[in-house]
Amino acid sequence: MKLQSVFVGAVCLLTGLNVPVGEAVAQDKIRWKMQSAFGSQLPHIGPSGQRFQKDVEVMSGGKLEIRFYEPGALIPALECFDAVGKGSVEACWTTPGFHASKFPAMPFFTTVPFGPNFGEFLAWKWFAGGNKFRDEIYEQNGLKAFDSFCIGPETSGWFRREIKSADDMKGIKMRFFGLGAKVMEKLGVQTQLIAPADIFPALERGVIDATEFSMPAMDVKQGFHQVAKFNYFPGWHQLVSCSEILMNKAKFDALPDQFKRIIEVAAGHQVAYTFAESEAFQFDIMAEMQAKHGVQFKRWSDDDLAKYEAAWLEVIKEESAKDPLFKKVADHYLEFRKKYAIWGDAQYMKGTYLKK
């Protein structure tokens, strides 16, 4: 009876203040807008943002809403850095690699050519201080981020014509992402960074001759196989890729500690979930593309991969000479890889040891 009386009294008070009960309850709810750089129809990376939204809602008991918006619904897909920093939107489901025009070192926090596997990459980012560089850059620009999802290796690209060797890349116009684009440019490729939703139209109209984007389950949704029939492997430029929830720092700092932790935990869950999911569903798609759509899968020769790697080492040297921050991050990353090799080379097996 006492609890009932308190509730009735509260209702009367609200009524006397002319505030509807539903509106008063709604005022306790925090609502954020989060634009994704990846459409919800894209397997793995699109739904990861929607899963994150649901996890936050459930864990907060409905008190925190971070609403998923499709690319371009609120702001241009590649303009999250400025928009979130200014508070135009509270958050973006995006990737550090899309901010390379602001800071050339940013792609290091997404993926690195000829880089580490999933475990080694997160070891550098989370425990060896890699993400501290990212966090310092973001803090200076009114931003806060957590790693949000990772995916497995990507393909090396889709081409309208067969590429016999890396030497044939000269003069090709190609959509390319991150630090791998710098490598392509060393080989004479004209690269463009195009938002995911705009890649197929550019390929179809001949604005570009080739494109890399992601892995088979996502690439088939993009329709690349309708225009380009040659798909190359391995994805030397993105052996593992990790993205982020990018947030306005002032708005994040204003949240209760409980909600801050919920966001961090919900994002972290997608890191493992999306990686495992992306590894589980590629082989059937590859078989279907080959059987039904006439896609030819090609693998770069060891000589070609050596040329790409040599170009990558040149990129590190040249970019480090131009940008002190790039050099600082690159040196830290390479030093960690050298240390990690003591463990990695001793413990991890490569390939198969069975006679064929």
Would you state the pLDDT for residue 28? 85
Q: What is the pLDDT of residue 352?
A: 63
* Amino acid identity at 96: P
Total count of domains within the chain: 2
Q: Would you say residue 140 lies in a domain?
A: yes
Closest CA to 233 of 288, 159, 171, 173: 159
- 68 and 182 inside one domain: no
Residue 311 within a domain: yes
Same domain, 113 and 234: no
Is 10 a domain residue?
no
- Please state whether 223 falls in left (phi above 0), alpha (psi between -120 and 50) or beta: left
Of all helices (H) and strands (E), which one includes residue 275? helix 257-280
pLDDT at 348: 86
For residues 207 and 67, membership in a common domain is answered with no
Whether residue 227 contacts residue 160, with contact meaning beta carbons closer than 8 Å, is answered with: yes
> Does residue 212 sit in the same domain as residue 301?
yes
Q: What is the pLDDT of residue 125?
A: 98
**The total number of residues written for the chain in this structure:** 356
The pLDDT value given to residue 178: 96
pLDDT for residue 294 = 97
Asked if 127 and 259 sit in the same domain, the reply is yes
Tell me the pLDDT of the chain (356 aa) as tens digits: 443 443 334 434 434 444 443 433 445 899 999 999 999 999 999 999 999 999 999 999 999 999 999 999 999 999 999 999 999 999 999 999 999 999 999 999 999 999 999 999 999 999 999 999 999 999 999 999 999 999 999 999 999 999 999 999 999 999 999 999 999 999 999 999 999 999 999 999 999 999 999 999 999 999 999 999 999 999 999 999 999 999 999 999 999 999 999 999 999 999 999 999 999 999 999 999 999 999 999 999 999 999 999 999 999 999 999 999 999 999 999 999 999 999 999 998 877 666 65
Strands 157-159 and 210-211: antiparallel
**Rounded distance, CA 326 to CA 322, Å?**
8
- One-letter identity of residue 57: E
- Interior/surface letters 177-200, b for 16+ CB within 10 angstroms, e for the rest: bbbbbbbbebbebebeebbbbbbb
CATH code (residue 225): 3.40.190.10
Same domain, 223 and 121: no
Claim to verify: residue 314 and residue 187 sit in the same structural domain: yes
**Helix 178-186 and helix 302-322: axis angle, to 10°?**
110
User: Where in the sequence is the domain holding 319, given as residue range(s)?
Assistant: 157-238+295-327
From residue 222, give the alpha-carbon distance in Å to each of 21, 68, 75, 114, 218: 47, 21, 21, 25, 6
Residue 209 one-letter amino acid:
D
Q: Could you tell me the sign of the dihedral formed by the alpha carbons of 91, 97, 101, 104, in that order? A: positive
Distance of alpha carbon 12 from alpha carbon 51, whole angstroms: 39
Same domain, 60 and 129: yes
Distances in whole angstroms, Cα of residue 318 to Cα of each of 104, 193, 236, 295, 314? 12, 20, 20, 37, 6
The pLDDT score that the predictor gives to residue 132 is 98
Judgement on whether residues 147 and 250 belong to the same structural domain of the protein: yes
* CATH number of the domain that residue 91 is part of: 3.40.190.170
Task: Say yes or no: 217 and 313 in one domain.
Answer: yes
Same domain? For 205 and 269 the reply is no
Beta-bridge mates of residue 150? 242
Is 16 within a domain? Answer: no
